[in-house]
Amino acid sequence: DTAVSQTPKYLVTQMGNDKSIKCEQNLGHDTMYWYKQDSKKFLKIMFSYNNKELIINETVPNRFSPKSPDKAHLNLHINSLELGDSAVYFCASSQGLAGGIRYEQYFGPGTRLTVT
Amino acid sequence: AQKVTQAQTEISVVEKEDVTLDCVYETRDTTYYLFWYKQPPSGELVFLIRRNSFDEQNEISGRYSWNFQKSTSSFNFTITASQVVDSAVYFCALQLNFGNEKLTFGTGTRLTIIP
C-alpha cells in the first residue's frame, strides 16, 4: 500500500496553461505539505495544511493554490504556468506535533513538471 | 530564522570505505528536531532518522550512525562499509518544535560509491 501518492508522476505542458497535481495519504496524518525541488536539488516548502487549514504559506506566487478537500488529500493547482515553474514537486504528510513530539514527514514519489 | 548547512556538495568513495556526511545547523530555539533523508537516483525521499534537541545520544542503525553535538551545532551521518546502494543525495533538515512547522533542508550532499 502506497503511503503518500501523487498523480501524475510526470507533467509536460506549455507556458500559460493551468495544471493540477493531486496528493493523497493513507497514513491517517493530520498535516500535509507541498515542497518544490529545483534543478539544483534544493528543497523548499511551499504550503502546509493541518486538518484542512492552511498553516504555512511561504512566499509562493498567487498562481499556486493548494486545496485540501479533506485530511487525506492536498492538491496543488497552478495557473498560467511559467518556464520557472519547471521542477519536481513533492507532497508530504506527517503526524505533525503530537504529545509534544515533532514527527517526521513522509514524502510522495514526486511530480516532475516541465513547462515548455 | 533557522538554517542548515551541508558544506560537502559531492563526495566519492570506493566501496567498503567509511564516509561521514557533515551537517551544521543554526537556530535560536532550544527545542527542535533534526532529520536525515536519502534521495536515491530514483528520486523519492526516504526518511532515515529523527533526533530531538534534548537527546544527544549517538544512534546506530546497521551500517548507519549519527553523531549529534549541540556544542558545535552539528548532526553528522556516517556510513560504514559503504555499498553501491548507498549512492544518493542525502539531506539534513531542521524543524522547530513549536511555532513554525517549516522543515528547513540543507542543500544536500551527493554521495557516490565507486564499485
Write out the DSSP string of A49-111. EETTEEEEE-S--TTEEEEEEETTEEEEEE-S--GGG-EEEEEEEE--EETTEEPPEEE---E
Query: How would you class B114 by CB atoms within 10 Å of its CB: exposed for 0-12, middle for 13-18, buried for 19 or more?
Result: exposed
Exposure pattern of A63-77 as b/e (b: 16+ CB <10 Å)?
ebebebeebbbbbbe
> Which chain A residue shows the shortest CA-CA distance from B40?
A109
**A13 neighbors A116 (Cβ within 8 angstroms):** yes
What is the structure's pLDDT at B88?
98
Percent of all residues in chain B with a pLDDT value above 70, rounded to a whole number: 98
A100 contact residues in B (CB cutoff 8 A)? 97
What is the structure's pLDDT at A22?
97
Percent of all residues in chain B with a pLDDT value above 90, rounded to a whole number: 83
pLDDT digits (tens, 9 = 90+) for A7-55: 999 999 999 999 999 999 999 998 999 999 999 999 999 999 888 888 8
**A3 neighbors A26 (Cβ within 8 angstroms):** yes
What is the structure's pLDDT at A115?
97
CB-based contact (8 Å) between B3 and chain A?
no
What is the structure's pLDDT at B25?
97
Strands A10-13 and A111-115: parallel
Distance from the Cα of B102 to chain A's closest Cα (Å) equals: 7
How confident is the prediction for chain B on average, in pLDDT? Answer: 94
pLDDT digits (tens, 9 = 90+) for A75-107: 999 999 999 999 999 999 998 777 777 788 999
The residue with greater pLDDT, A34 or B102, is A34
Report d(CA B9, CA A49) in Å as an integer.
32
